[in-house]
Structure 1
Amino acid sequence: MNKLSSKLWITGALTVYPKNAGNDSVASSIVPKIYRCDLKRLNLYDQVISLKERIFLCSYVKDLILNQVTVKYDNGTVVAFEKLIEQFPQLNVFEFTFTTPSNNISKNTFKELWKISYLSNYHCFYLYNIPENFEIDSFYSYMKKNKNTRVSLEFSDQISEEYKARLEAIVDEIIETQNHEYKPPYIKFPGMNGEKRNILLDIFFR
């Protein structure tokens, strides 16, 4: 990239996957080389970028995958998870893998998330490595109104037994419901019963 003498016009898809651990500024180093960005799909792994850089890269993005990516304001403050969603009503697919420990959520994060009206317009909304402060009850209330978005939730290995029990109760309710008036989510957590997981996966893709 440093040897390029011309600016780039990027279209289609861009994936940034650093070869070496700790090389978290690859995406940031690319941005100054771009004069026009018409990306439709962006995949970032293990990166730290600014909010301005993310907005620039994602102006036209429809499919966005952020795997353990930290987005910061100019002052170095980490952008809250719900604020990442607020910036992009045009997305079809959003996939996000939380860091361990999570660095962009608070106890109000997920309550605020479900207030974003256009979230229901997304085709797919997949979250991975979800921490225990994910408000599962407020989420499930939201899900029972969801008729459009395919939602998949995979939880962190560090959630408590009490939290697992609550997840299992929700999974049981989904499995036992004959006719879903909403789009059932896929839920996966450590220690989950394999048979239940397969049944839920079948319901999810049905």
Structure 2
Amino acid sequence: MNELISKLHKCDASFLELKNVEIPSELFLTKNVKLCNFRNVSVLSKNGIKMPLEKIVENLPSICGFKFSFDSNSLNVSSKTVKELIKIPHFSEISYFSLINISENFDIQTLFNFLKRNSSPKFHLKYQNNRLSNKYKNELEKIVDEILETKSLKYDPPFISFPLQNEFKLAAFRKLFEK
């Protein structure tokens, strides 16, 4: 695999899809990737620790579309992930940003406040973990309710889905997101 990754590092790929691999950060991808889909991918620092999500995004300066599916014990997201993401200069230039199987360490309220002030990126957030606390689920519900109750949105609403979500709200939310 390292041989393949080293070839990618030297090429000029604009689309990258990786699944179920660990790659060392020194071989970390071409700077010209525009579309990226990582499923259960770990980018490891020199000391073998998983790079946080914000560092991965920071190292993809040309990215337009980004999808990241976390494994069940993801260490890529912390309480400061969103604060660090919104500091990245090219973050607001990303058109589509999808995160699948997010933990509740992800600061959804900070992200939502950012999205209300910025037209990009369009977010798709899917929580698959049934271990979300009731407090976090309530926070997600409040955001969904606020979006659905707003008559005229001045921003692209994020699409948010999570376990045990009200089916009618999810359907209304999906319709709103697809506009």
TM range (shorter): over 0.9
The one-letter code of the counterpart of 1:203 is L
1:159 deviates by 1.0
Residue 61, structure 1, aligned to residue 30, structure 2: no
Q: 2:3 aligns with which of 29, 39, 47?
A: 29
The one-letter code of the counterpart of 2:174 is L
Q: 2:17 aligns with which of 34, 43, 54?
A: 43
Equivalent residue pairs, number: 178
1:146 deviates by 2.1
Normalized against structure 2, the TM-score is what? Answer: 0.92
Per-residue CA distance 1:135-174 (angstroms, 9 max, x = gap): 1111111110121321110013221122111101110110
Q: Which has the higher contact order (CA 8 A, sep 6+)?
A: 2
1:47 deviates by 0.6
Identity %: 34
Question: In 1, Cα distance between the equivalents of 2:81 and 2:157?
Answer: 22
**Residues 56-135 of structure 1: matches in 2 within 5 Å?**
58-135=30-107
Structure 1 or 2: more strand by fraction:
1
1:34 deviates by 6.0
Q: Is the CA contact (8 Å cut-off) linking 2:32 and 2:60 kept in structure 1?
A: no
Question: In 2, Cα distance between the equivalents of 1:74 and 1:118?
Answer: 25
RMSD: 1.6
Distance 1:120 1:154, change over 3 A: same
Question: In 2, Cα distance between the equivalents of 1:34 and 1:126?
Answer: 23
Distance 1:179 1:60, change over 3 A: same
Question: In 2, Cα distance between the equivalents of 1:116 and 1:33?
Answer: 27
What stretches of structure 2 of length at least 5 have no aligned partner? none
The one-letter code of the counterpart of 2:151 is Q
Match of 2:137 in 1: 164
The one-letter code of the counterpart of 1:148 is S
Moved over 6 A (4+): none
Residue 149, structure 1, aligned to residue 103, structure 2: no
Question: In 1, Cα distance between the equivalents of 2:105 and 2:72?
Answer: 13
Q: If you compute each CA radius of gyration, which structure gives the higher value, 1 or 2?
A: 1
SS at match of 1:94: strand
Distance 1:35 1:147, change over 3 A: closer
Match of 2:175 in 1: 202
1:198 deviates by 1.2
SS at match of 1:30: helix
Deviation larger for 70-79 or 162-171: 70-79
